[in-house]
Amino acid sequence: MNSEDLTLKISPATKMVGVFGCPVKHSASPAMQNAAFLAAGLDYVYLPFEVKPDDIEPALNAVRILGFRGINLTIPHKETSIPFLDEISEEALKIKAVNTVMADSGKLRGFNTDIEGFLKPLVMEKKWPPEGKKAVILGAGGAARAVVFALLNEGAGEITIANRNIARAEELADFMKNIFPGSIIKTAGIADSSLHREISGSSLLVNCTPLGLKGETPLEDASCLGRGITVYDLIYRPSDTPLLTAARNRGADTIGGLGMLVYQGAASFRIWTSVDPPVDVMKKACEKAVKGVRL
Ligand code: NAP
């Protein structure tokens, strides 16, 4: 796809979608979604908009007034947008995070596709059904909230949330225990020595921290990793983080964050268009975009 193709296709009938975030300029979503619309022969265009934290209400009003089909929401708008939407899906309401908005007859309906985005690479591609399994989650921020919800909602047997700020891990555990009464959720500090025992006894480790973006790792000593554990790093740039390399060297199965990015985008695409998303096209466009190649 090049910009000329895209410009030529824009007409008064073109449906607009996009992403509101701050910052937003490194987003791979415009490349991924525009490639998908072209491949599917749909008259849509997807644009990035830098929306400051305090401007989310007027920005969402603009979605209504300007006739957008919908919008993605990313940091810092996933939670703060909720009071300004007309309807929220059950899942998004439960985890208090919306990443996809659909505008329908003047109403804004909020969804969370991060949950599906996280699960698809794990369940469909790696054949790892969470039911009854033990998992350790590193981090307790917004991404961890979607991940812990996704795993417990699929019947995971036990979750340990490990975070630098342990109070935040405990807060997330309490939040999830309210949604899933009776679930087993433990907490730990990310540097606790006891964490290694938890990881050794688990079959999934998910990194929901940004450690790995710049060559760091959330797990200095990777000796607890080995065959029988799947290590899932939500970071997608770089595609191979030090955690994934260490895990693979020790015989563990690994998943990078690109699949989650693609599948959450594919689910948004389906919400806006009611058309099956061209996932392979989206994956290729995303790979190019995260490598910094301009499409
Ligand atoms: P967030 O809400 O800001 O949470 C960040 C988490 O990382 C917190 O638990 C924080 O711990 C921890 N953390 C940050 N810096 C740390 C450090 N130096 N040492 C130890 N822990 C540290 O961010 P988020 O939205 O959850 O995103 C987390 C990561 O997931 C990001 O890298 C993001 O790009 C990635 N992500 C990927 C996808 C995808 O589609 N693949 C989707 C969503 C997010 P404290 O609570 O102690 O501060």
Compute, in angstroms, the gap from residue 103 CA to the centroid of ligand 1.
Answer: 29
Give this prediction's pTM: 0.94
Compute, in angstroms, the gap from residue 207 CA to the centroid of ligand 1.
Answer: 8
- What is d(CA 71, CA 268) in angstroms, rounded to the nearest whole number? 9
What is residue 26's predicted lDDT score, i.e. its pLDDT?
87
CB of 84 closer than 8 Å to CB of 54:
no
What is residue 198's predicted lDDT score, i.e. its pLDDT?
96
Give the residue, out of 22, 234, 244, with the most ligand 1 atoms within 8 A of its beta carbon, to mutate for a pocket test. Answer: 234
Q: Given 3-state DSSP classes, what are the helix, strand and coil percentages for the chain, each rounded to the nearest 5?
A: 40, 20, 40
- What is d(CA 90, CA 195) in angstroms, rounded to the nearest whole number? 33
How far is residue 80 CA from its own chain's centroid?
Answer: 17
Residue nearest to atom 39 of ligand 1 (CA): 261
Ligand 1 cavity residues, CB under 6 Å: 75, 114, 117, 139-144, 163-165, 168, 190, 208-211, 213, 234-236, 257, 260-261, 264
Q: Crossing angle, helix 142-153 and helix 166-179, to 10 degrees?
A: 40
Residue 194: both structure tokens together: 């006891």
What is residue 295's predicted lDDT score, i.e. its pLDDT?
46
- What is d(CA 113, CA 215) in angstroms, rounded to the nearest whole number? 28
Where helices occur in 142-257 by DSSP H, the ranges are 142-153, 166-179, 194-200, 242-249
What is residue 292's predicted lDDT score, i.e. its pLDDT?
75
- What is d(CA 102, CA 17) in angstroms, rounded to the nearest whole number? 9
What is residue 291's predicted lDDT score, i.e. its pLDDT?
84
Compute, in angstroms, the gap from residue 162 CA to the centroid of ligand 1.
Answer: 12
Nearest atom, ligand 1, residue 261 CA: 40
| Active-site option among 52, 78, 177, 284 | 78
What is residue 293's predicted lDDT score, i.e. its pLDDT?
55
Could you write out the DSSP letters of every residue in 71-134?
Answer: EEE-TT-TTTTGGG-SEE-HHHHHHT---EEEEETTEEEEE--HHHHHHHIIIIIS----BT-E
Residue nearest to atom 31 of ligand 1 (CA): 210
What is residue 10's predicted lDDT score, i.e. its pLDDT?
86
pLDDT tens over the chain, length 295 residues: 555 555 557 888 999 999 999 999 889 999 999 999 999 999 999 999 999 999 999 999 999 999 999 999 999 999 999 999 999 999 999 999 999 999 998 899 999 999 999 999 999 999 999 999 999 999 999 899 999 999 999 999 999 999 999 999 999 999 999 999 999 999 999 999 899 999 999 999 999 999 999 999 999 999 999 999 999 999 999 989 999 999 999 999 999 999 999 999 999 999 999 999 999 999 999 999 988 755 4
Residue nearest to atom 17 of ligand 1 (CA): 211
What is residue 169's predicted lDDT score, i.e. its pLDDT?
98
- 25 in active site: no
Q: Which residues of 116-128 are buried (b: 16+ CB within 10 A; e: fewer)?
A: bbbbbbbeeebeb
Residue 280: both structure tokens together: 């392979």
Residue 198: both structure tokens together: 């938890």
User: What is the layout of strands, in order, in the sheet containing 87-88?
Assistant: 44-50, 15-21, 70-73, 100-104, 107-111, 87-88
- What is d(CA 70, CA 188) in angstroms, rounded to the nearest whole number? 39
- What is d(CA 3, CA 5) in angstroms, rounded to the nearest whole number? 5
What is residue 165's predicted lDDT score, i.e. its pLDDT?
97
- What is d(CA 161, CA 73) in angstroms, rounded to the nearest whole number? 25
Residue 58: both structure tokens together: 């007027």
Compute, in angstroms, the gap from residue 52 CA to the centroid of ligand 1.
Answer: 20
